[in-house]
Chains A and B, each alone.
Chain A
Amino acid sequence: MAKVLVKGNEAIAKAAIKAGCQCYFGYPITPQSEIGEYMGRHLPELGRTFITAESELASINMVIGAGTTGTKAMTSSSSCGIALMQEAFSAMCCAEVPGVIISVMRGGPGLGNIAPAQADYFQALKGGGNGDYKLIVLSPSNVQEAIDLTYRAFHLAIKYRNPVMLLADGILGQMMEPAEFKEYPYNDPDVSEWALSGADNRPARNIVSLHMPEGALEELTNRIFEKYELIAKNETTYEDYMLSDAKLVLTAFGTVGRVARAAVKRARENGMKVGLFRPVTLSPFPDRDLHEAAKKADMILDLELNKGQMLLDVRSAVFGACPVEFYGRTGGGLLTPDMIYSKIEELYKTLDSKKEAGVR
């Protein structure tokens, strides 16, 4: 199938429909409103459900309702709207309810602005909801990947009975570029073993997140964390761009990854051994692989459109194997290929001087 020119938000919506999404529940917010608009146009004509909910709280709880029946459902929002959903994410992880959340980040904190940003990494990975829980978080860097990862989000949600977030940003949501809609490539597991459907010739089931008997919550949480280990083992992915001999390794996620890739290419053309490590799954984070890359490198440069959020996971993964530098902008400020290239030049020089001084 040929590539078509498509806007990021619409690509995500279309991919969700192709992935078998039966219900969309959402509340408009820039810069992702085209997702809801696309769903509002297309889901009803397919006989599927579209509701503009009264709030993001309502949206995500409708996703929970759909998820308890084993139905593929999604919501989408942006920064301050995602903030309202945090309680539900925690409940979904605890009750093992599948669901897909599209987060198209804008500038924060507060209402912030509507410019592209990446300052909701913490919100997605460490965020907001109570208790021990983890979302699966996927990070696309271009429209093609947004499509492919939307497919994957629906599959992983059903496969592991856990909420999956596609963490995009305003650039990806608003931009158009050519991309291809392949067929949904996954075989999803049967949900009839656990989904609510009425206690018809079987014992009644419940999908709840309150577990009061002594020891019950600890046992449950331990089991769910064993599942997270399995997810980390099976599903962790990242992009390796010219890492094999890289002395300076860039780390970046999402659209910053594609900008960084161009800077790496230019650095290579100018004889600098630079590579890019771009996590595709932010959760599970590819920490072991990053540690291996760091062991071979002289320095890591972490690039983000925030004040240093993934940086904490990068440092934790590197664990002292080499120094970690950070370069970022916030509040809607962007990193250009030129800016990243200049930073590469600046740091690359210090690598040589450190080597001469015998410093690692």
Chain B
Amino acid sequence: MADMSVIISGFGGQGALFAGILLCHTAVFEGKYTTWFPAYGAEMRGGAVNCAVNISDDEVPSPIIDEADAVIALNEASQAKFENRVKSGGFMIVNSSLSRLKPKRTDIKYINIPLNELAHKLTQPAFVNVMALGAFIEKTGILKLESIKEVMTEMAKTVSAKKAALLPNNIECVEFGANIIKNQLVTV
């Protein structure tokens, strides 16, 4: 049984919640069980947002994650907040463009990617959340890159033309994110 739990966190506007939803849609696309659970209410008023995503071949018992297999921290505050919530042996993707924190733990892997710099060099507008997902998918193999691209393409058909026009950028970002891991552009 393959299953994977991930917390995605960032500040408002970075698309942490949407990245989680996109991951879930991709899981549904592949016929897997999945859950998404956001930090809600007063917790989301402070500007920091996060969500918990489970992907499994079996029914997910609880959508809430105490200790995650992985954390995607899109900024420094997220790294600080969720560093202790990674399972021993798990990993953390850190957006090193927005975090200068030194790793505190030795029992987890840190994948530091300067997502903002890379994404903005790649395309305008750029999507760090989607680039992070590309890296996550490539790293874990829990879902296929082709699936998320297909899901994004399908989603683009249901949104405004203005948003749909951003699909190529999104595809570029997710592919590049995967390539970062595949081609070992960062130290893993």
Residues of A within 8 A of B (CB): 3-5, 7, 30-31, 114, 116, 142, 170-171, 174-178, 255, 258-259, 261-263, 334, 336-338
Contacts and interface: CB of A to CB of B under 8 A. Distances in A.
Contact of A5 (B34, B40, B59, B66): B34
B48 interface: no
Contacts, number: 68
Chain B interface mostly: mixed
Interface string B77-97: 000000000000000000000
A176 B36 contact: yes
A160 B142 CA distance: 48
What is the size category of the interface that chain B forms with chain A? 20 to 34
B28 interface: yes
Could you say which of B38, B60, B62 has the most chain A C-beta atoms within 10 Å of its C-beta? B62
Nearest to B53: A176
Given A5-B34, A171-B37, 6 more contacts: A4-B28, A5-B24, A177-B33, A177-B34, A259-B62, A337-B62
B42 A114 contact: yes
Contacts of A4: 28
B88 to A, nearest CB: 14
Contacts of B28: 3-5, 178
B4 interface: no
Given A5-B25, A5-B28, A336-B66, A175 B37 contact: yes
Contacts of A170: 40
B40 A177 contact: no
B98 interface: no
A174 B60 contact: no
A170 B33 CA distance: 20
Contacts of B21: 5, 176
Contact of A114 (B37, B40, B59, B64): B40
B75 interface: no
A175 B40 CA distance: 10
Interface string B48-79: 00000000000111111010000000000000
B34 A178 contact: yes
Contact of B24 (A31, A116, A176): A176
A177 B34 CA distance: 6
Given A114-B40, A114-B42, A175 B61 contact: no
Contacts of B41: 30-31, 114
B24 A259 contact: no
26 contacts: A4-B28, A5-B24, A5-B28, A171-B37, A171-B62, A171-B64, A174-B40, A175-B37, A177-B35, A177-B36, A177-B60, A178-B33, A255-B62, A258-B59, A258-B60, A258-B62, A259-B61, A259-B62, A261-B59, A261-B61, A262-B59, A334-B62, A336-B62, A336-B64, A337-B61, A337-B62
